[in-house]
């Protein structure tokens, strides 16, 4: 089978690798029908995060179950499934508390001997706890929306839930990557009345508007802060969804938050520090972290199947799987928001 492999920073290769087989009785093997590249894949692509040369990569995929272990109860061969970006048991204390990304026997695809999601087949550990069954055989258009639930839609939703978006609230989203755009969608689902989307990138502004942004703030940093302060009569917003994770994006989030407001942070932290004094003085709340995607997928799946949301519109770059290098390059250069490939 063919799979993406990290060669060196800046270099992703498609290689022939061994077909996966059931190893544990709780495993399933999934034939991947669609996979994608994540903004977080760019950290090792850019050489900013460690990844061994030769490692399997990718953590977002959907597909069809082709083999199940003897102890798999909820899935059968032929089922179509969504894989959350982390596998989890569904039964440990953390899973039962809703923190499936912190499962005591779970992990992320592509590490510790577990297959990456950018490949033709994937062995899923803990299949019952991990994979979410989708009714029927979704067509490609539907698969775009389903694949978005693997990570970005759930991570954006986690930003909205963590930042306590309320019906009628005034909110802002910092970050216009696929997660930030998905946070805009999620704020709209939760009933926010005014949604500021910070974006200086025209194609992404268009997606933000489709997802329900009421005001595009075509600025960043201090300039964005001044605009939002002006538009909220100097008050600031109730909720900020911080979807980048850098010092600047975090600073902006604190600058535009009203006293007593909440930041939902879902960008992997890179060099940010929280201002303890300012947080104390202003009763600022901060929540968020790695999204428990497995918990959110059923909720968002219902909305996708009902046609209420179309999270797959974040995919604006389709690539031939054998040319995955081009997809990484496009996302690195921001010429693509999120890259998708169909494998069958």
**What residues make contact with Zn ion under the rule CB under 5 A?**
38, 85, 88-89, 92, 95, 103, 151
Q: Which of 57, 71, 74, 58 is nearest to 130 (CA)?
A: 74
Q: Closer to Zn ion by CB, 228 or 301: give it.
A: 301
Residue 148 CB, shortest distance to Zn ion, in Å, is 10
> Whole-number minimum distance, CB 211 to Zn ion, in Å?
18
Distance, in Å, from the CA atom of 185 to the CA atom of 35, rounded to the nearest integer, reads: 21
For the CB of residue 88, give the shortest distance to Zn ion in the complex, in Å. Answer: 5
Q: To the nearest whole angstrom, how small is the minimum distance from the Cβ of residue 10 to Zn ion?
A: 19
Least distance to Zn ion from the beta carbon of 223, Å?
29
Residue with the shortest CB distance to Zn ion:
38
Residue 115 or 151 with smaller CB distance to Zn ion = 151
In the complex with Zn ion, the residue whose CB is nearer, 25 or 283, is 25
CB closer to Zn ion out of 117 and 236: 117
79 versus 151: smaller Cβ distance to Zn ion: 151
Of 89 and 149, the one with the shorter C-beta distance to Zn ion is: 89
Query: In the complex with Zn ion, which residue's Cβ is closer, 88 or 239?
Result: 88
For the chain, what is the HEC assignment? CEEEEEEECCEEEEEECCCCCCCCCCCEEEEEEEEECCCCHHHHHCCCCCCCCCCECCCCEEEEEEEECCCCCCCCCCCEEEECCEECCCCCHHHHCCCHHHCCCCEECCCCCCCCCCECEEEECCHHHHCEEECCCCCHHHHHHHHHCCCHHHHHHHHHHHCCCCCCCEEEEECCCHHHHHHHHHHHHCCCCEEEEECCCHHHHHHHHHHCCCEEECCCHHHHHHHHHHHCCCCCEEEEEECCCEHHHHHHHHHHEEEEEEEEECCCCECCCCCHHHHHHHCCEEEECCCCHHHHHHHHHHHHHCCCCCHHHHCCEECCHHHHHHHHHHHHCCCCCCEEEECC
In total, the chain counts a number of residues equal to 344
CB of 314 to Zn ion, least distance (A): 12
Q: How far is the CB of 37 from Zn ion (least distance, A)?
A: 8
Q: Find where tokens 């169909």 sit.
A: 342
Residue 26 or 170: the one with the smaller Cβ distance to Zn ion is 26
Least CB distance to Zn ion at residue 335 (A): 19
- Between 87 and 211, CB nearer to Zn ion: 87
Q: State the minimum distance, in angstroms, from the CB of residue 99 to Zn ion.
A: 9
* Residues whose CB falls within 8 Å of the CB of residue 321, separated by 6 or more in sequence, listed in order: 2, 14, 35, 341, 342, 343
């Amino acid at each position: 089978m063919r799979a993406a492999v990290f060669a060196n920073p800046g270099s992703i290769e498609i290689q022939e690798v061994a077909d996966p087989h059931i190893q544990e009785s709780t495993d399933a093997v999934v034939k991947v029908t669609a996979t994608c590249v994540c903004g977080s894949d760019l950290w090792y692509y850019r050489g900013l995060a460690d990844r061994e040369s030769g490692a399997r990569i990718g953590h977002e995929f959907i597909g069809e179950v082709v083999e199940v272990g003897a102890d798999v109860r909820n899935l059968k061969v032929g089922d179509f499934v969504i894989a959350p970006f982390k596998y989890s048991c569904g039964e440990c204390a953390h899973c039962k508390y809703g923190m499936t990304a912190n499962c005591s026997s779970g992990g992320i695809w592509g590490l510790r001997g577990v297959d990456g999601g950018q490949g033709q087949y994937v062995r899923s550990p803990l299949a019952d706890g991990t994979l979410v069954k989708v009714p029927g055989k979704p067509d490609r258009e539907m698969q775009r929306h389903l694949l978005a639930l693997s990570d970005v839609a759930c991570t954006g939703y986690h930003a909205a839930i963590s930042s306590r978006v309320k019906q009628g609230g005034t909110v802002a989203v910092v970050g216009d990557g696929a997660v930030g755009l998905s946070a805009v969608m999620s704020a709209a689902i939760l009933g926010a009345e005014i949604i500021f989307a910070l974006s200086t990138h025209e194609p992404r502004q268009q997606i933000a508007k489709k997802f329900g942004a009421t005001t595009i703030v075509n600025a960043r940093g201090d300039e964005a802060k001044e605009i939002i302060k002006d538009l909220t009569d100097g008050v600031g917003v109730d909720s900020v969804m911080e979807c980048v994770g850098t010092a600047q994006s975090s600073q902006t989030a604190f600058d535009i938050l009203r006293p007593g407001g909440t930041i939902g942070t879902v960008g992997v932290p890179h060099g940010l520090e929280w201002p303890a004094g300012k947080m104390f003085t202003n009763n600022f709340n901060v929540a968020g972290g790695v999204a428990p995607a497995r918990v959110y997928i059923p909720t968002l799946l219902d909305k996708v199947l009902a046609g209420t949301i179309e999270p797959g519109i974040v995919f604006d770059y389709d690539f031939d799987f054998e040319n995955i290098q081009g997809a990484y390059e496009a996302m690195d250069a921001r010429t693509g928001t999120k890259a998708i490939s169909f494998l069958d």
